[in-house]
Amino acid sequence: MIVAGTFLLSCKKDSVRNISTISYGTSFGMCVDYCLRDINVSSNKVTYTKAKNGANPDLKTCSNHLDEAEFIAIKELLEDAKFNNLPERIGCPDCADGGAEWIEIKGNEKSRKVVFEYNNAPDELKAAVVKLRALAAGFSNCN
C-alpha cells in the first residue's frame, strides 16, 4: 500500500515538460451560433476550429503557418512551473453563461489543461492568453 501511495504522489508531481502543442479555447454553454472556438498551436502551424452547440455543430476549421519564433515565445510563457501548479479549474467557468477559457499543453507524452472564467485569466497565464487570443482573432474570416 505504501508503494502505491508513493507512486501516485510521484505521478501527481510529474509535470508536462518539452511542450510540443499548445491549445487554447473558449466556450459558452448557452449561446446560438459558434459557441466553441479553439486553436491548436505547434512549432509551425496554427489550426483554428469553431463549432455550434447542439446536435449539428457545423464545424469549421482553418489553418495558417506559424513562425517558430512565435511558438517558442508562447511556449516560454507556459513552460514555467507555475502553469503545472495551477488547479485544473479556476473560479466558476461558464457559470450563468459567463463563458470559459482554457489552455492545454502537451509534451513528454502528458497533457495538462487549466480552465478558467472567460476574460478572467489567472496572473500566471495572462501574458500567454493575450498572445493566444491574438492568434485566434486572426481567423475571424474562417468560414
Q: Which residue has the higher pLDDT, 31 or 111?
A: 111
In a domain, 51, yes or no: yes
pLDDT bin (cut points 50, 70, 90) of residue 33 is: confident
pLDDT of residue 5: 42
Tell me whether residue 57 is in a domain.
Answer: yes
Q: What is the pLDDT of residue 1?
A: 44
Give the mean pLDDT of the chain: 85
**Residue 143: inside a domain:** no
Answer yes or no: are the C-beta atoms of 15 and 81 closer than 8 Å. yes
Q: Tell me how crowded residue 86 is: count the other CB atoms within 10 A of its CB.
A: 15
Domain annotation covers residue 70: yes
When pLDDT is cut at 50, 70 and 90, the band that residue 93 belongs to is very high
- Domain annotation covers residue 142: no
Q: Identify whether 55 is part of a domain.
A: yes
Interatomic CA distance for residues 51 and 58, integer angstroms: 6
Number of domains the chain is built from: 1
Lowest mean pLDDT among 9-13, 34-38, 63-67, 73-77: 9-13
Mean pLDDT calculated for residue range 115-135: 94
Q: Which amino acid is at 91?
A: G
Q: Tell me the whole-structure pTM to 2 decimals.
A: 0.84
Q: Alpha-carbon Rg of the chain, whole angstroms? A: 16
Q: Is the pLDDT of residue 12 over 80?
A: no
- Provide the residue count of the chain: 143
Residue 63 lies in a domain: yes
Per-residue pLDDT, averaged over 100-108, amounts to: 93
* Full domain range(s) for residue 35: 2-137
Give yes or no for a contact between 128 and 78, defined as CB atoms under 8 angstroms apart: yes
CATH number at residue 87: 3.30.1560
